Amino acid sequence: MTRYFTQDHEWIEIEGDLGTVGITDYAQGQLGDITFVDPAEVGASVAKGDAVSVVDSVKAASDVYTPVSGTIAEVNAALVDEPELVNTDAEVGGWLFRITLSDTSELAALMDDAAYKAYVETL
């Protein structure tokens, strides 16, 4: 599996033509404690950069953007009852949605782990 990152602090992990998407630990730290997750709509066709979900925290509500185009295949139903999973495990168990990619060439515009870490250091 390969993981990529956006400048908006989303991550996507690719396995075949399916991507699992969430927010980074950095984003979670900036937002503070997540108190609610408004999930993406399963079956929705989305374009790269579309706002597809919202996370609410004690500090603010923040849109989550899809890093690639495709169709929302699944949402993390556990977040409905336990949004705090994003606080404790943002980059594994706190994933937000899965997307079936429609254009894998879009991955080339995303950052790998080293590039994302370097980007965060500039903030």
Domain ranges within the chain, ordered by starting residue: 2-103
Cβ proximity of 28 and 86 under 8 Å: yes
Q: Domain 2-103 carries which CATH code?
A: 2.40.50.100
pTM of the predicted model as reported, rounded to 2 decimal places: 0.96
DSSP for 5-24?
A: E-TTSEEEEEETTEEEEEE-
The series of mean pLDDT values per 10 residues for the chain, 123 residues long, is 96 97 96 95 98 94 97 97 95 97 97 97 96
